[in-house]
Amino acid sequence: MNGSEHRSYTLHEIAERFGGEVLGDGTTRVARIATLQNAGPAALAFLANPRYLQQLGATSAAAVLVGGAMRDATTLPRIVCEDPYVYFARVSRLFNPPPSAVAGMHPSAVVDPTASIAPDAEIGPQAVVGRAAVVGAGVIVGPGCVVGAGVVLGAGVRLHARVTIYESCVLGERAIVHSGAVIGADGFGIAMAEGQWLKIPQIGRVVIGPDVEIGANTTIDRGAIDDTIVEEGVKLDNQIQIAHNVHVGAHTAIAACTGIAGSTKIGRYCRIGGGSGIAGHLTIADGVEISGHTAITKSIDKPGVYSGLYPFDTNRAWRRNAAYLRHLGDLAERLRELEKQVAALERSKS
């Protein structure tokens, strides 16, 4: 059960935890978070976008979270806060705390006798824990997970079902890894020798910092020689590929289906939109925002927003414009020649 099923809070109690100004009846009790449109009488709703102001007037919520500009937009009991969306996130965590580990190992789990398992850790059905692995306090290893030899799981790590962590990788405290993720597989290291590909052993690790969340079916390759590193607080969406020796700076967020090629270093507090591609051996500065479906082919040394999405069109128009684009270099050269001719003509007249 989550917290909303057995505990309610008054607005005063919530404001005491998270701040904000209570207007109206502060003894109003709420037991769950909901949208304005779907809220019931025991729900706390939130208005984070003025586009939904009309729904505020029709909501059945017991109370609402609003920003300062909307403090008088309703007569419902409310908490006025600086950022209703952030406040909503904090209250939602209060109502929906993560599950605690149920100490013990399922009878079907396979745990090497040399592994170190904290007494309060939970090892789920058909999970495998390899030799000399370390499973910290309060860790949850979900059904069907594989924790390789020498892996270290810090306190409070949560592995959802069917996560695979290859040997020697390290996950920091409170990291969350969703189903199907693979951490520490070999990077794409190959060399052409005598007409065939020669595999280069990938001997580095993956080192994940504390409070990192890794989405479903995301893959993070181990380093070729040095480690692949994901620093603290990084949030990775589903189906992301991070290649060997990549370094992702703290508190960066990366949306789904992004691919990052090897040995690229991404700064702190970056935001990378879904479907983006980042070439290898680049450096991305701190505070960079990359729009969705953008291809980054050279380093970025200054913070800012970078976009490179070629807009869609009808197929006929797209083909025509693509043909123009292919000849853009020739057209630019012809334009420069014309500019030179015009400049020469003007000089002759003077």
32-33 sheet: strands from edge to edge: 21-23, 78-81, 63-67, 43-46, 32-33
Show Cβ contacts of residue 275 under 8 Å, excluding neighbours closer than 6 positions. Answer: 255, 256, 257, 258, 292, 293
What's the Cα-to-Cα distance from 169 to each of 15, 32, 159, 192, 233, rounded to whole Å?
41, 38, 14, 28, 18
CA distance 185 to 165: 8
Contact (CB, 8 A) for 202 and 224:
yes
Angle at 140 between CA 137 and CA 143, to 5 degrees: 150
- Distance between CA atoms of 101 and 98, rounded to whole angstroms? 9
Strand 170-171 to strand 152-153: parallel, antiparallel, or no bridges (unpaired)?
Answer: parallel
> Which residue do the tokens 């007409």 mark?
195
Backbone angles phi, psi at 236, to 5 degrees: -115, 130
- Concerning whether 244 is annotated as a catalytic residue, the answer is yes
Nearest Cα to 184, choosing from 199, 164, 201? 164
Joined tokens for residue 217:
């079916």
Is 247 in contact with 265 (CB distance < 8 Å)? yes
- List the catalytic residue out of 244, 247, 293, 327: 244
Would you please indicate which residues are annotated as catalytic (active-site) residues?
Answer: 244
